[in-house]
Structure 1
Amino acid sequence: MNILVTGSSGWLGQFLVPRLRRDGHRVVGLDPAPGATTEVVGSVVDRALVDRLIREHAIQAVVHAAARHKPHIETHDNSEFVAVNVQGTLNLLEASVAPASTVDRFVFTSTTSLMISQRIRDGKGGGAREATWIDETLSPLEPRNIYGVTKRAAEELCRLFNHLHGLPIVILRTSRFFPEEDDMAHAIVQSSENTKANEFLFRRLTVEDAAEAHVAALDRACDIGFDTFIVSAMTPFAREDCRQLIADAPSVVARYFPEYRQLYARRGWTMFDSIDRVYDASKAARRLGFVCRTGFKQVLESLG
Structure 2
Amino acid sequence: MHVLLTGSSGWLGRFLAPRLRAVGHRVTGLDVAPGPDTDVVGSVADQQVVDEAFARGVEAVIHGGALHKPDIVRYPAPTFVDVNVSGTLNLLEAARAAGHDRFVFTSTTSLMISQAIRDEVGERAVWLDECSGPLEPRNIYGVTKLAAEGLCRLYAREHGLPCVVLRTSRFFPEDDDTRSDPPGENLKAIEFLHRRLTVEDAAEAHMAALEAAPRLSFDTFIVSAPPPFAREEAEELKRDARAVILRHFPDAEELFARRGWVLPASLGRVYDPARVEARLNFRCRTDFAAVLAALRAGAPLPFVHDVRYVSPKEAGEP
What TM-score, normalized by structure 1, do the two folds share?
Answer: 0.96
Structure 1 segments, 4+ long, off by >6 Å, are: none
Q: Which residue of 1 aligns with 2:46?
A: 46
CA shift, 1:191, in A, is: 2.4
Indicate whether 1:170 and 2:188 are aligned.
no
Tell me how far 1:64 sits from its aligned partner.
0.3
Cα deviation, residue 51, structure 1: 2.2
Tell me the residue number matched to 2:58: 59
Name the amino acid aligned to 2:192. F
Q: Check the 8 A contact 2:31/2:65 in 1, yes or no.
A: yes
1:33 equivalent to 2:33? Answer: yes
2:145 aligns with 151
Q: Any stretches of 5+ residues in structure 1 without a counterpart? A: none
Q: Deviations over 1:149-170 (max 9, x none)?
A: 0000000000000011110100
Counterparts of 1:5 and 1:223, CA distance in 2: 21
Identical-pair percentage: 60
1:109 has 2:106 as partner? yes
> How much has 1:183 moved relative to structure 2?
6.2
1:180 shift after superposition: 1.8
Question: Which piece of structure 1 moves more, 208-217 or 173-182?
Answer: 173-182
What's 2:67 paired with? 68
| Match of residue 93 from structure 2 | 94
Q: Which amino acid in the other structure matches residue 175 of structure 2?
A: E
Q: Which amino acid aligns with 2:258?
A: R
Aligned residues: 296
Instruction: Report the CA distance between 1:265 and its aligned residue.
Output: 1.4
Number of the residue aligned with 1:121: 118
Residue in structure 2 matched with residue 208 of structure 1 by the alignment = 200
Counterpart Cα distance in 1 of 2:177 and 2:70 = 12
- Which secondary structure does the structure 1 equivalent of 2:12 belong to? helix
Alignment check: 8 A CA contact 1:47 1:91 kept:
yes
CA change 1:131–1:183 in 2 (3 A) is farther
How far apart are 1:81 and its partner, in Å? Answer: 0.1
CA distance, structure 1, for counterparts of residue 270 and residue 173 of structure 2:
20
SS in 2 for 1:272: coil
1:111/1:131 CA distance change after superposition, 3 Å: same
**AA matched with 1:24:** G
Query: In structure 2, what is the equivalent of residue 80 of structure 1?
Result: 79
User: What is the SS of the residue equivalent to 1:94?
Assistant: helix
CA distance in 2, matches of 1:240, 1:256: 14
Q: Post-superposition shift, 1:49?
A: 2.1
Match of 1:228 in 2: 220
CA contact 1:58–1:102 (8 Å) conserved in 2: no
- SS of the counterpart of 1:24? coil
Following the alignment from structure 2 to structure 1, what is the Cα–Cα distance between the partners of residues 178 and 67?
A: 21
CA distance in structure 2 between the aligned counterparts of 1:299 and 1:276, rounded to whole angstroms: 21
- Counterpart Cα distance in 1 of 2:157 and 2:217: 10
Which residue of the other structure, out of 255, 274, 280, is the alignment partner of 1:282? 274
Distance in 1 between residues matched to 2:223 and 2:29, nearest whole Å: 23
Distance 1:102 1:58 in 2: 11
Mapped partners of 2:88, 2:158: distance in 1: 16
Q: Give secondary structure in 1 for the equivalent of 2:103.
A: strand
Q: Which amino acid aligns with 1:262?
A: E
